[in-house]
Homo-oligomer: A and B are copies of this chain.
Amino acid sequence: MSLQKPALDPMTLEPRTGSGYPEPYRSRVVPREKRALGDPLGLKTIGINHTVLPPGKESSMRHWHTHEEEFIYVLSGEVVLVTDAGEQLLKAGSCAGFALGTSDGHQLVNRSSQPATYLEISNRDPKDRAFYSDVDMLFHGVGSKPMFTRRDGTEF
C-alpha cells in the first residue's frame, strides 16, 4: 500500500532534472535528478532534496552560501567532496556539513561508474546569495526572481 502523508516514498515523486545554470556550467551538472522532499510534506524552514548524480557529473559548481547552511548524507554510491581541505571520497553512510560564515566553497563530483545518491538539506533564507569559487558566476537569491549573473552583475 502506498504511503500517506505525513509519510512519503521519495521515488513516487517526479524528479527535476534541469538546472538554472547558464552554459557551460549547466552541462556539467545535468541531468542529475532532484526530488524535493520537504515541499510535499509542508515543511517551510528546511529544504530537503533527494539527489541522484550520474557518473561524470557534478552536484554544482564549487560554491558557498551567505545565509544557508548545507548538510549532505551519502545514501548509495560514492562522490568526491572538493573543498579547501582537499579532495575526499565519501561513501554511503558518510556526511558533510557546510557552516555559515566560511568562504570555503564545496562541490560533489561523481568520478565513479555508478550513480551516487545523497540527501541535501539546508535552512531557507530569502537573503541567501551564493559565491562560486572557480567560475565567474554569482547567485542572487534576493527578490522574487532568483538569478545567476557574472561576478560583475552582468547577465549571461
Contacts and interface: CB of A to CB of B under 8 A. Distances in A.
Interface of A: 3-11, 37-38, 41-46, 48, 69, 71, 73, 75, 81, 83, 85-86, 88, 90, 93-100, 104, 106, 119, 121-123
A98 B100 CA distance: 25
A100 to B, nearest CB: 7
A8 B121 contact: no
B71 A104 contact: no
Contact of A45 (B38, B42, B69): B69
A119 B73 contact: yes
Given A41-B71, A121-B121, A123-B123, A3 B97 contact: no
A75 B73 CA distance: 10
Contacts of A3: 88, 90, 94
Nearest to A10: B95
A95 B46 contact: no
24 contacts: A3-B88, A3-B94, A4-B86, A5-B85, A6-B81, A7-B95, A8-B94, A9-B94, A10-B93, A11-B93, A37-B95, A38-B71, A41-B71, A41-B99, A42-B97, A43-B69, A44-B100, A45-B123, A46-B46, A48-B97, A48-B121, A73-B119, A75-B75, A119-B119
Given A37-B71, A119-B119, A121-B121, A97 B44 contact: no
